[in-house]
Amino acid sequence: MNTVTPSQYLPESSSDTTRITRHFRAEKFDFWSFFFTGLTGLATLLIVGILAVILLNIFINGWSSISWRFVSTIPTDLFDVKTTGILPMIVGTTFRVLIMTVFVIPVGVITAIYLTEYAPSNSVITRIIRAAVNNLAGVPSIVFGLFGLGFFINFIGKNMDQLLHNPSVVWGQPALIWASLTLAVMTVPVVIVATEESLKAIPPGLREASLALGATKLETILKIVLPQALPGIMTGGILAVSRAAGEVAPIMFTGVFTYMVGLPRKLSDPFMDLANHVYVLSTQSNNIDETRPILYATVLVLLVLTFSLNIVAIIIRSNVRRKMRSLH
């Protein structure tokens, strides 16, 4: 029986090695792969470049108008550079985003758990829920505003006033709570989809091992699955915050006012908002040249506030991931 040694496959000289290497490289070069790789790289650079130009333009035109008085005072005239301020807008935007997050995260996570862990994949009810989630993600934001006006304010709010026998209108009017709930309805598909993908990424072996050790399905979900999926869930929350922070149409009908004397103190109070303030400065100013610095400064503060909320969430997510890795 003939045996083949590894030396028979080796080239006899260095020139043979060079020839084989060059031939291998020539065969490996794929022009179309190289072309499309470069094309996708150029597209990425183009997108990043456009974003950088936009942010740089906002920073250059808005930084000069930023001051402590601008961000810490209540305005007496929205269109006067010397007397305007955006403190009520900052407070209102922060409150509505935080309240929205409190409502949307539990609802989105519970729905995703049901669809992933409990609902039969071929069930008619499951298909209806998934279709509703997909359709909800494509509804224009102005429609959510009309929904919030009709359902939350005219139906729930006015009925609450009647049940509580309020002498004046308390809940049946635009308010911070209704605007936050409207935004929660608008962003819940984002949280559901992100949580579903995170839950599906958990290896089935973890669930099977937990069940084999005697844990119930609920205990397995709460103690094994959810902690592993928490970074993905927080990613959904970050995306929801990013989308809701700049929305104007849903809150125009449900809670935002153009001007208020004070800050919102209760959930039933209306509020002022940075995104709506940008809209007002852009459309209702008698002299756009004079209000342009205020407009850019307001947009810059809105971006900083949105980025700050996202950075806080990203830091928390990173700490959670680090703790989960240390447990393994």
Q: What does the pLDDT read at residue 12?
A: 52
Indicate the residue type of 89: M
pLDDT tens sequence across 5-47: 555 444 555 555 555 555 555 556 677 888 888 999 999 999 9
pLDDT tens sequence across 244-256: 888 899 999 999 9
Percent of the chain with pLDDT over 70: 90
Q: What is d(CA 129, CA 122) in angstroms, rounded to the nearest whole number?
A: 12
Q: Is the pLDDT of residue 314 over 70?
A: yes
Q: What does the pLDDT read at residue 25?
A: 54
Asked if CATH classification 3.20.20.70 holds for the domain at 69-327, the reply, yes or no, is no
Q: What does the pLDDT read at residue 57?
A: 93
Percent of the chain with pLDDT over 90: 46
* Residue 259 · residue 183 · CB < 8 Å: no
Q: What does the pLDDT read at residue 246?
A: 85
| CA contacts within 13 A on the Cβ side of 22 | 6
Q: What is d(CA 172, CA 30) in angstroms, rounded to the nearest whole number?
A: 66
Q: What is d(CA 62, CA 20) in angstroms, rounded to the nearest whole number?
A: 61
Q: What does the pLDDT read at residue 163?
A: 93
Average pLDDT, the chain: 86
Q: What does the pLDDT read at residue 9?
A: 46
